[in-house]
A and B are shown apart, each in its own frame.
Chain A
Amino acid sequence: MRLPQLSWHFIKIGSAAFGGLGVTLSLIERYLVKEKGVLAARDVTESLTYTKFLPGSTGVQVVGYLGYRLGGWPGALLATGAFLFPAFLFMLVLSILYEEVTGLLADSAAPALRGLTAAVAGILVATIYRLAKPAITTLTGGLVAVTACALGIVLRVNPALIVLAAGFLGIMMPQRFTQGQSAGTKESNPDSHGNKR
């Protein structure tokens, strides 16, 4: 993907990513996986896997990770800059209009914000489904996903620890995650060569 095109896509993603990471993922999935086909759903999951251990904003890290994949260091820089530009601009305008906007928000924003959040939740569930389809192909995989979610919600276990534990499970018994799905690993190989373009 050429760099101007890459920047344009991430400006679009950055201007519509209301509600944080969930919508960011869903937009990346829509524009770059489904429409352009320059990334696979696996790549998006991979970017989440390896940025989970790193401190800082996950959205920016996913964009940096995938930007590097699409265009090396220049790609990473442009993708992230383009992704952050609309947010920065919006925030700057709000900072300048601060006094007026605050008064306005206090009265009417809560129900609208709830509606927005509900829509984000719905979109995120659809994104989870699309990411899960290629990544969760066995019963063990499904159990790991459900357990991870439950441990996080009920016991508030640190997400990095959960990912680490699941990763070690994968190293110990990789076949439990690919049962009858050797095509799955083959699929990622042309991908890794394809990206050396």
Chain B
Amino acid sequence: MILLELFVYFAIISMLAFGGGNAAISLLERISVNEMRWITPQDFAAAIGFAYITPGPVLITSAFIGYRTAGFQGALFATVGVFLIPWLLSVLASHQVRRYIDHPWLQGFGLGAAPAVIGLLGITVFTLGNYAFFGWLYWLIAGVALVLSLFTKVSPILILIGGTLLGAWAGSLLID
């Protein structure tokens, strides 16, 4: 019963997450902490922290909440619940766009929307920078990451590891 409950509530949360995973975090908190009391506020804070240090989407937080509530099966049901419907919608969109791709309206829409979508990624950069740019060393890390990924074949994974290590080192410098 609890498994079904997890699945349904996470599915509802996902359908209200207009604007991506981050848009759903407050709803996730309200339902899993205040309303259903699946986890404590401290648990939730840790879960969000974990979501940022693990790869993949931030809504993988659901696996943590599901696990705390009902073990491995809970993690599975919550995770499938939070991703299933948005995933289904996106695949259907992919299917429909292929069918009508030659229609002039869809072509025009794509032409105009593409620059806007790319511009919107700038907001993400801004948000990340707001959090990360705590001193000039962090600006330097971002600059080096940019240059490396534009002009060299260094793997993004190495750049991320390097950034993390440099960040830890910079942190120890700033504190001392």
Contacts and interface: CB of A to CB of B under 8 A. Distances in A.
Given A111-B168, A114-B138, A121-B132, A91 B51 contact: yes
B63 A88 contact: yes
B149 A144 contact: no
B42 to A, nearest CB: 8
Interface of A is mostly: helix
Contacts of B165: 112, 115
A125 B143 CA distance: 10
A174 interface: yes
Interface in B112-127: 112-126
Interface residues of A, number: 113
B38 interface: no
A94 B149 CA distance: 30
Interface of B: 14-22, 24, 43, 46, 49-61, 63-64, 67-68, 72, 75, 79, 82-83, 85-87, 89-91, 93-95, 97-98, 101-102, 104-105, 107-126, 128-129, 131-134, 138-139, 141-150, 156-157, 159-160, 162-172, 174-175
A27 interface: yes
A148 B115 contact: yes
Contacts of B101: 188, 192
Interface of A: 14-23, 25-27, 30, 42, 45-52, 54-62, 64-69, 73, 76, 80, 83-84, 86-88, 90-92, 94-96, 98, 101-102, 105, 108-129, 131-132, 135-136, 141-142, 144-149, 152-153, 158-160, 162-172, 174, 177-178, 185, 188, 192, 195
